[in-house]
Amino acid sequence: MTISVITKTPDPETYLSLRAAGGLSPYDLEAAGLGLKNSLHCVLLLDGETAVGMGRLVGDGGLFVQVTDIVVHPDYQGRGHGQQIMAALVKHIETELPPSIYVSLIADVPANRLYEKFGFRETAPSSLGMARRGRLISPS
């Protein structure tokens, strides 16, 4: 087993497959294609030629960036591969983006412990993460 982390944007099918395997919320193929092409930076965790993990940076590249889509296939979890993905993303942040950039993420528990190793801290109570889907559906 040769595991490596490379800078590469996954194709939409690989992206959706890894999200599903890792228990992340689904998206449709068209949305995945649009979002991926507008990524700021992507990394893939490969076992040989097979993608088994990924991570992305999204944002404007100057003022704000968000770490997202950190996922490792369940068959590869618990071996430090999430740390490898985060290390590659943090290296890009620290070497390619302005020092003053605001980097945020939404952490699922217990993944917050991983992010703390890379300098991320909870912002509560001074600020709280909030989210919504693009279209609000009215109750029938």
Q: What pLDDT tens digit does each residue of the chain (140 aa) get?
A: 689 999 999 999 999 999 999 999 999 999 999 999 999 999 999 999 999 999 999 999 999 999 999 999 999 999 999 999 999 999 999 999 999 999 999 988 888 999 999 999 999 889 988 888 787 766 65
What is the CATH T-level fold of the domain 3-116, as seen in this structure?
A: Aminopeptidase (3.40.630)
**Rounded distance between C-alpha atoms, residue 98 and residue 117, angstroms:** 21
**Rounded distance between C-alpha atoms, residue 91 and residue 88, angstroms:** 5
**Rounded distance between C-alpha atoms, residue 2 and residue 12, angstroms:** 24
Q: With 0-12 CB in 10 A as exposed, 13-18 as middle and 19+ as buried, what is 120? A: middle
Q: Find how far residue 68's CA is from the centre of its chain.
A: 3
